[in-house]
Chain A
Amino acid sequence: MAVNNELFKGTLQTIILNLLAEHHRMYGYEITQKVKAITQGELLLKEGALYPALHKLEAEGLLETSTEVVDNRLRKYYSLSQEGEKEVVNKLQEARDFIQNLQLLLNLKPSF
């Protein structure tokens, strides 16, 4: 069952920050594939949603970038800045609180 994109959008920044916290640095395409692999294809992170979120996080100073030559082309890597490392903790806590409240509101039982 594919997940509704509207539900996905609100947590996109948290997902990106958490992925970068776990993998140190990643490039755009790698992030889309990682989301697809972790969710076994349930969530598809499209370029149209990924890049605006990445560049917004970079503009806010939460991400840093570096460019390297890979396979005869330039590749831009994203990683967490010091500010981003602090923010990821807050964002994850916000997401946990939100999920807890959602479970209460919709009478859902956690599956774990």
Chain B
Amino acid sequence: MGLTTAQLQQIKQFIQRKGFVYLDVQLEIIDHVATAIEEKMEVNPQLDFNQALVKTHASFGIFGFSTIEDAISNGLSKKYNRFFWRTFLSFFNYKYIVLLFLGAAFTYQVQQLLVGYHWWFAAFIGLTIVSLIILIAVRTYQVKLNQYLSFKLSISYFLATSSLLCFILQFQNQVLLSTTIFGLNTTGACVSLLMVLFVLYLLSAFKTMELGISESTQLQKKYQYLS
């Protein structure tokens, strides 16, 4: 015996009252609870919907639905983490290694040319502009996909960007004082390498966000179809 749309709505409200607001978390709980209720009412036709709902919730134990939410949250975090690092490491593939080397060499040359002219300030402004563009993109999607845990977790890699940027730029004073090996300013070379790694971090974070957006949008379309 299938549940009515009103009963499914009642389950949704029940779950929301328990504090589970993300739609991708609700999806799995609603289907599990609805199927369990349907079965309970089929086995015992005298059982009404509300009694079956309370019984089903009780079967989840003392932690209630939070077990499912924790499982989904941990699973998504691990999935995006795996994707993020796989993407990051893919840039060290032989196809990109020459590009990375050229990128580091270019950054080093620019830094050496501008070392007496507050190069770090130009770098800071440049990377801040890039970060602002990303922030605007994130905010735009946040309005549409804020109710999806997958989207929220996929953008979490951007949280570390300002700390990473500050970590790199703290070496700016030491570039002028650095020792040279075979004419290479060692601190300058390290800072150039860190900046390239920072750009790769940003690209990996962006690709992870794209995955989160794609998964959340697919789900959103199905929800729109239902309503």
A residues within 8 Å of B by Cβ?
A: 27-30, 33, 46-48, 51-52, 54-56, 58-61, 67, 69-76
Contact = CB atoms under 8 A, between A and B. Distances in A.
A58 B83 CA distance: 12
Prevailing SS type, chain B contact patch: helix
A81 to B, nearest CB: 12
B196 interface: no
Contacts of B61: 46-48
Contacts of A70: 31
A28 B67 contact: no
B118 interface: no
20 contacts: A29-B36, A46-B61, A51-B68, A51-B72, A52-B67, A52-B70, A52-B71, A52-B74, A54-B75, A56-B78, A59-B78, A61-B82, A67-B222, A69-B225, A70-B31, A73-B31, A74-B31, A74-B226, A75-B31, A76-B27
Interface string B53-90: 00000011101000110111011111100100000000
B101 interface: no
B42 interface: no
B5 A76 contact: no
A51 B74 CA distance: 11
B32 A47 contact: yes
A71 to B, nearest CB: 5
A59 B82 contact: yes
A45 to B, nearest CB: 12
Interface string B20-41: 0000000110111011100100
A26 B103 CA distance: 48
A73 B23 CA distance: 12
Contacts of A27: 31, 35
Contacts of B35: 27, 29-30
A73 B75 contact: no
A60 to B, nearest CB: 8
Contacts, number: 87
A76 B2 CA distance: 17
Given A59-B82, A67-B27, A48 B75 contact: no
Nearest to A49: B67
Contact of A76 (B31, B34, B36, B225): B31
B219 interface: yes
A72 B226 contact: yes
A39 to B, nearest CB: 18
A29 B31 contact: yes
Contact of B222 (A33, A46, A47, A74): A74
Given A48-B61, A74-B222, A55 B75 contact: yes
B3 interface: yes
B79 to A, nearest CB: 4
Given A67-B27, A67-B218, A74-B223, 11 more contacts: A47-B60, A47-B67, A51-B28, A55-B74, A58-B75, A61-B82, A69-B222, A69-B225, A69-B226, A71-B34, A72-B5
A73 B61 CA distance: 24
A73 B30 contact: yes
Contacts of B63: 48
